[in-house]
């Protein structure tokens, strides 16, 4: 049987993710859903008409879902579900300002996903990311390895882009890593960041690295500030689509994701940005990497910050 992936939420993030997934041409079907009547069907029709030009056979199906779960039967049999439903930030807002409103949306979506796609791996992107990932696991009651969140791939891609631009080198020669939360306690990891295998610290002065780290931490807000309405979606959708692909292909790729941490780095019982091996079962294992004392302390701080917030989401 061919693979099926569902993207919930046909806004900017969801529609660009669906398009990327379709263009991979590795799925039989990409399902795109939204609560706005006609929008997913219209986008699906449009994407399908790009098939002869881009040369892919995957079919995109658009479904409008109702407040009582109407339409969700169409996601049945999905191997992967990407949840993008929810409000994005406006200038001046923090991701945490979205907590109450997006929790209601994500809980409703998760309950329907659990009912209609009980074997899916769920990739969460709705913000605030770490909290919405924890909530999705609670609301679906899926095993923790089958629920993960997208943040680290995007944050690392931003860090990589800034480093490449600063040094005037191809992005492909730069390797960076960010861990921790998708928020104020994001932990960019310069000690694991290299250019053509050379440590970043040998190529840039410490204050310049710190400047790029700060820009990475504020990378989402920088885009929001320019757009005025809505938030980033090209780089975010690239990250979520790659994660969904790793699940569908059972590739075992190691990616920075928001995963359930159970003892790694001496941290337990929290969804946190770490590197993990991704495959058909979701997170196959969390991969620990060497950190400096300061980076390790920052990761522990991030864990405590998100732990406190994640404890509250069960009641939302």
Beta-sheet strands, E only, within 17-100: 29-34, 59-64, 80-83
Q: Does residue 109 interact with ligand NAD by CB under 6 A?
A: yes
The residue range among 6-14, 51-59, 137-145, 283-291 that interacts with ligand NAD, by the rule CB under 6 A, is 6-14
Region near ligand NAD per CB under 6 A, out of 123-131, 169-177, 298-306, 307-315: 123-131
Q: Which residues pair with 259 in a beta bridge?
A: 272
Applying CB under 6 A, the site for ligand NAD has a residue count of 36
| Secondary structure of residue 254 in the 3-state scheme | strand
259 binds ligand NAD (CB under 6 A): no
Which of 7, 12, 212, 247 touches ligand NAD (CB under 6 A)? 12
- d(CA 213, CA 274) in angstroms, rounded, equals 17
6, 29, 58, 102: which one binds ligand NAD (CB under 6 A): 102
Tokens at residue 64, please?
């409008």
Residues 142-201 that bind ligand NAD (CB under 6 A): 150-151, 154, 182
Q: Which stretch binds ligand NAD (CB under 6 A): 28-36, 187-195, 280-288, 303-311?
A: 28-36
- Determine the straight-line distance between the first and last CA of the chain, rounded to whole angstroms: 38
Q: Inter-axis angle of helices 99-116 and 129-140, to 10 degrees?
A: 40
Which residue matches tokens 């079962």?
281
| Phi then psi dihedrals of residue 26, to 5 deg | -115, -10
| 116 is an active site residue | no
CB 18 within 8 A of CB 32: yes
Catalytic residue, candidates 89, 158, 182, 217? 182
Measure the CA–CA gap between 128 and 183, rounded to whole angstroms: 8
Residues 38-67 that bind ligand NAD (CB under 6 A): 65
The answer to whether residue 80 forms part of the interface with ligand NAD (CB under 6 A) is no
Task: Considering the complex, state which of residue 71 and residue 203 has its C-beta at the smaller distance from ligand NAD.
Answer: 71
Across the beta sheet with 198-199, what order do the strands follow? 174-175, 194-195, 198-199
127 binds ligand NAD (CB under 6 A): yes
27 is a contact residue toward ligand NAD (CB under 6 A): no
Both structure tokens of 280: 């058909």
Q: From the list 2, 36, 304, 311, which residue makes contact with ligand NAD (rule: CB under 6 A)?
A: 36
User: Which residue in 27, 159, 233, 260 binds ligand NAD (CB under 6 A)?
Assistant: 233
Nearest Cα neighbor of 147 from 162, 165, 159, 132 is: 132
Catalytic machinery residues: 182
Q: Which residues make up the interface to ligand NAD (CB under 6 A)?
A: 8-14, 33-36, 65, 84-89, 98, 102, 105, 108-109, 125-127, 129, 150-151, 154, 182, 230-233, 236
């Amino acid at each position: 049987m061919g693979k099926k992936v569902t993207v919930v939420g046909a806004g900017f993030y969801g529609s660009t993710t669906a398009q990327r997934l379709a263009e991979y041409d590795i799925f039989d079907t990409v399902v795109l859903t939204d609560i706005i009547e006609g929008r997913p069907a219209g986008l699906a029709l449009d994407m399908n008409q790009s098939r002869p030009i881009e040369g892919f056979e995957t079919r995109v199906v658009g479904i409008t879902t109702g407040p009582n779960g109407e339409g969700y039967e169409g996601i049945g049999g999905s191997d992967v579900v990407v949840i993008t439903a929810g409000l994005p930030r406006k200038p001046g807002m923090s991701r945490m300002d979205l907590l109450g409103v997006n929790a209601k949306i994500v809980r409703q979506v998760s309950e329907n996903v659990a009912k209609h796609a009980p074997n899916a791996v769920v990739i969460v992107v709705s913000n605030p990311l770490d909290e919405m990932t924890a909530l999705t696991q609670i609301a679906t009651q899926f095993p923790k390895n089958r629920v993960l969140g997208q943040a680290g791939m995007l944050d690392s891609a931003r860090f990589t882009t800034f480093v490449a631009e600063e040094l005037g080198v191809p992005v492909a020669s730069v390797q960076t890593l960010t861990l921790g939360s998708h928020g104020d306690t994001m932990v960019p990891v310069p000690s694991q960041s290299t250019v053509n295998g050379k440590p970043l610290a040998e190529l840039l002065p410490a204050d310049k690295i710190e400047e790029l780290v700060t820009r990475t931490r504020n990378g989402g807000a920088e885009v929001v500030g320019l757009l005025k309405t809505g938030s980033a979606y090209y780089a975010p959708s690239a990250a979520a689509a790659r994660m969904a692909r790793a699940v569908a292909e059972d590739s075992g790729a190691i990616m920075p994701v928001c995963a359930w941490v159970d003892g790694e780095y001496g941290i337990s019982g929290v969804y946190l940005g770490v590197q993990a091996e991704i495959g058909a079962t979701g997170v196959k294992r969390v991969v620990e990497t060497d950190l400096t004392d300061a980076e390790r302390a920052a990761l522990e701080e991030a864990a405590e910050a998100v732990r406190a917030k994640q404890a509250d989401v069960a009641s939302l």
